[in-house]
Amino acid sequence: MASYSSLCLIMNNIFLFFLLFGHEFLQLQAFHHVYRAQTSHSTVHHNHHQHHHQQPHRTSYHFQPPKNWINDPNGPMIYKGIYHLFYQYNPKGAVWGNIVWAHSTSTDLINWEPHDHAIYPSQPSDINGCWSGSATILPGEKPAILYTGINPKNQQVQNLAVPKNLSDPYLREWVKSPNNPLMAPTPQNHINASSFRDPTTAWIGPDGEWRVIVGSKLDARGLAVMYRSKDFVKWNQVDHPLHYKDGMGMWECPDFFPVAKTGRKGVETRVYGSQVKHVLKVSLDDTKHDVYTVGTYNWQKDIYIPNKGSIESYNGLRYDYGKYYASKTFFDSQKKRRVLWGWVNESSSVDDDIKKGWSGVQAIPRAVWLDASGKQLIQWPVVEIQKLRNNKVKLTNEVLKKGSIVEAKGVTAAQADVEISFKVENFKKAEILKPEWKDPQLLCSQKGTSTTKSGSVGPFGLLVLASNDLKEYTSVSFRVFKGQHKYVVLMCSDQSRSSLNSNNDKTTYGAFLDVDPTRENLSLRSLIDHSIVESFGIKGKGCITARVYPTLAIGDSVGLYAFNNGTDSVTITKLTAWSMKKALIN
Ligand code: DQQ
């Protein structure tokens, strides 16, 4: 463990200058860029084991294949003690297209071994693509996969595949049902053939019938189309959707699962009754955000009703307020937890993606459970990730005056895990939250990392992936406002100075967190991995993931700092940072 003296406290006037004046010319962007739906048949050839100096932005402990495009996590499950992850993959290039199900397995959710593609176009019902879907463990420990196929008419239909050999724990070969497709748009069922995809994990009712939902839309109405089956092969459409909502557009990749009302343990999809609530997550094609509600599922009527007060719109609760999409959970029967996977796409340009030969990573899997308030989920990186922690450095009770920063020396700051908590001593100077400041992302980008003239609590937080001269850094911070009846905590991840490369999307992200800062210290954890920063505010109440592509802050030339730029001092009650070891991935 490094000593206290390895953490040096410095006042940095140059830094202050950047914080105060660097944001004057900030451009506001309402949405992040999305580079999907571009097909390329060109193959990118390069060495699989390029070193970090050639590929400074490749991650060291996030899930990635050696090259090419990846998107949605598919069919995650555990079978005979082995974790399976399938994912949307383009074998031919670094942009979306030619989609197959690539496949990897793991015993710890951290190190991954690749296998041959599990599902690829081979029959009329999927000849134009094998799109997203989910795994269900049928009675007798028999996994089954439902996925979307694109047929010769480019219609979206749902197919079934099962393992060829159940005694192979790696489930390397999959056989498609001769009855495919099992669900398809017909002239009678009013299903939009270009908006009918991504079947969930199925769940069995107390009546012994299977249920599954498929994402869809009719005009601007988002729909969870529902089917039932007695044998998992013959599926009948239920006469009403499980749920729908006008004005949300296409619901991609729905996920529907129960959560225990108390405690952190996960529950299987077959659990009903007063001990659980249900969560419906949908991926909004229009905004590329994963939003969810907590509510009640009535299996007799097959309807889902969100809790009173739930927001169901583009502004709903999100798993992550940064880049995070097409996520999917599974029940880990070994560790009795529900685990969430999510795709993190690029903020680099398509040209840069083609140059580097890859695009997209999976976020570190997160355990999810219901918050004690019952109003939202809590998410926390799976505990296994802590196996990679190395060279701990620690700091306690450090007062940070306005404008001061502290460097956490002795960690590989490009590849690190850091936890910090702050105590605010004085809330008197908290800025008043104007009623029109409703959009946290906009508030973060307008306020930036600089303080306001009128006195403020915050911003304070971390500067990650910072270059030695502080010309590049990503700031993850808190700011406290005085609301009408309570203090309001804003968490920001500011990418505006993350890279000198102007081709990157540098949108600033923000979220309001449901916490009383007079009763609880404000804590933050960031997982830093070369070009990704996953941040967890208040022990997982709010998450923000950012992709950044520094030009100077790469390799050994990266620093990690804590800072306070609010008018009043704050105390770092504790800062712990670790270097992260490289995981063995694919
Ligand atoms: N990606 C898949 C679709 C899904 C979308 C295609 C979400 O099945 O709707 O690659 O990112």
| pLDDT tens track for 145-183 | 999 999 999 999 999 999 999 999 999 999 999 999 999
Over the chain, what is the mean pLDDT?
Answer: 91
pTM: 0.92
Ligand 1, atom 7, residue with closest C-alpha: 326
- The alpha carbons of the chain give a radius of gyration, in whole angstroms, of 24
pLDDT-based confidence at residue 451 (cuts at 50, 70, 90): low
Query: Can you tell me the distance from the alpha carbon of 265 to that of 332, in angstroms, rounded to the nearest whole number?
Result: 10
- What does the pLDDT look like over 78-108, one tens digit per residue? 999 999 999 999 999 999 999 999 999 999 9
Q: Which residues are known catalytic residues?
A: 72
pLDDT at 53: 63
Pairing of strands 457-466, 559-564: antiparallel
Residue 150, strand partner residues: 156
**Distances, alpha carbon 527 to alpha carbons 325, 365, 532, 543, 573, in Å:** 18, 12, 8, 11, 20
Tell me whether the CATH fold assigned to 56-63+70-381 matches the one assigned to 390-580: no
**498: nearest Cα among 454, 452, 460, 531:** 531
Mapped onto helix, strand or coil, the DSSP state of residue 383 is helix
pLDDT at 456: 86
Atom of ligand 1 nearest to the CA of 252: 9
Task: Identify the residue with better confidence: 31 or 539.
Answer: 539
Q: Which CATH class is domain 56-63+70-381?
A: mainly beta
**Distances, alpha carbon 271 to alpha carbons 46, 201, 268, in Å:** 48, 14, 6
pLDDT-based confidence at residue 23 (cuts at 50, 70, 90): very low
Query: Can you tell me the distance from the alpha carbon of 88 to that of 83, in angstroms, rounded to the nearest whole number?
Result: 17
pLDDT at 454: 55
Tokens of 383: 């505990």
Segments making up each domain of the chain, as ranges:
1-55, 56-63+70-381, 390-580
- What does the pLDDT look like over 473-507, one tens digit per residue? 999 999 999 999 999 999 999 999 999 999 999 99
- What does the pLDDT look like over 367-409, one tens digit per residue? 999 999 999 999 999 999 999 999 999 999 999 999 999 999 9
Q: Does the structure show a pLDDT above 60 at 438?
A: yes
pLDDT at 7: 41
Query: Can you tell me the distance from the alpha carbon of 301 to that of 320, in angstroms, rounded to the nearest whole number?
Result: 32
Ligand 1, atom 10, residue with closest C-alpha: 131
Helix (H) or strand (E) holding 445: helix 440-447
Distance (angstroms) between ligand 1 centre and the Cα of 295 equals 25
Atom of ligand 1 nearest to the CA of 197: 8
Helix (H) or strand (E) holding 354: helix 350-356
Task: Identify the residue with better confidence: 567 or 276.
Answer: 276
Query: 390-580, what's its fold?
Result: Jelly Rolls (2.60.120)
Query: Can you tell me the distance from the alpha carbon of 442 to that of 438, in angstroms, rounded to the nearest whole number?
Result: 8
Percent above pLDDT 90 for the chain: 87
pLDDT-based confidence at residue 9 (cuts at 50, 70, 90): very low
